[in-house]
Copies of this chain bind each other. A is one copy, B any other.
Amino acid sequence: MLFRQLYEPDSSTFTYLLSCPDTGVTALIDPVLETVERDLEVLQSMGLKLDYAIETHIHADHITGAKKLKNATGCQIAGPAQDELPCRDIGLTEGAAFQIGGITLNPLFTPGHTDTHHAYLLDHHGMPMLFSGDALLIEACGRTDFQSGDAHVLYRSIHNKFFRLPDETLVYPAHDYEDRRITTIGQEKLRNPRLGKNRSEEEFVAIMNGLDLPYPRKIDFSVPGNELCGMCPDNMPEEMKGLCKDSQQR
């Protein structure tokens, strides 16, 4: 497998590049509008053509680069089938493996940050790799206080879907805000301050309800933009409209 962990600094988002060396089939998980040109340069430098842009969920902190990438490369846009977005080409569902050439991606329905959030698990020749989206972050987790978030539901997603995986499972989150890059299931079971050391659902919910976080600065235009797969919505701030010129419908 060819693999790259790419970073968008404004929203501290990781975009993951996965490419099957035998078939050349290539995907990006959670591309960001601001870094589409960078992603295209990486693909070109590796001699790859993009086949799929895959979303873990409807992001509230950035607009996806999916539509702009589709316009540039002809890739297909994939994401949770439950989102029912007409702009997506492929709907992903737990239990139905998705092939990136010879790479098998297993969608895991993991609601709680949003009600349709999916993570993606792949078994890289015996090494499990989990793209955990915003459900599980390094020593943290996604917010549960906006959109369709629910702390009770997130707790059960993490415990029932993630914490049953082997301790050695590599966890690649959608974000980190402190320059970290990776964790494992075993590490989070020990160190996650909200979830580790067998914290109860009640403790977790109390922590999440007490976070007192600021209103997300991009949510009002990011959510409608992401429901359009990365076309900029009418309420896009004037200073950001330049980002949209290559992502609008064609």
Interface positions of A (Cβ within 8 A of B): 1-5, 21, 124-127, 167-168, 170, 178-184, 186-187, 190-191
Excluding A5-B168, A180-B187, 7 further A-B contacts by CB distance (< 8 Å) are A1-B126, A4-B168, A21-B126, A124-B124, A170-B182, A178-B191, A182-B183
Partner of A190, one of B2, B179, B183, B190: B179
Partner of A184, one of B167, B168, B182: B182
Q: Which residues of B contact A178 (CB under 8 A)?
A: 191
Nearest-Cβ distance from residue A123 to partner chain B, whole angstroms: 11
- Give me the 10 closest cross-chain CB pairs, A-B, nearest first: A181-B187, A179-B190, A1-B126, A181-B184, A125-B125, A179-B191, A182-B184, A5-B168, A181-B186, A180-B187
Nearest chain B residue, comparing its CB with the CB of A2: B126
Nearest-Cβ distance from residue A1 to partner chain B, whole angstroms: 4
* Copies of this chain, tallied across the complex: 2
Nearest chain B residue, comparing its CB with the CB of A187: B181
| Most B Cβ at <10 Å: residue of A1, A182, A186 | A182
Q: Are A187's CB and B183's CB within 8 A?
A: no
Q: Are A127's CB and B127's CB within 8 A?
A: yes
Nearest chain B residue, comparing its CB with the CB of A183: B182
Partner of A182, one of B3, B21, B182, B190: B182
Q: Which residues of B contact A126 (CB under 8 A)?
A: 1-3, 21
Q: Which residues of B contact A184 (CB under 8 A)?
A: 5, 181-182
Q: Which residues of B contact A183 (CB under 8 A)?
A: 181-182
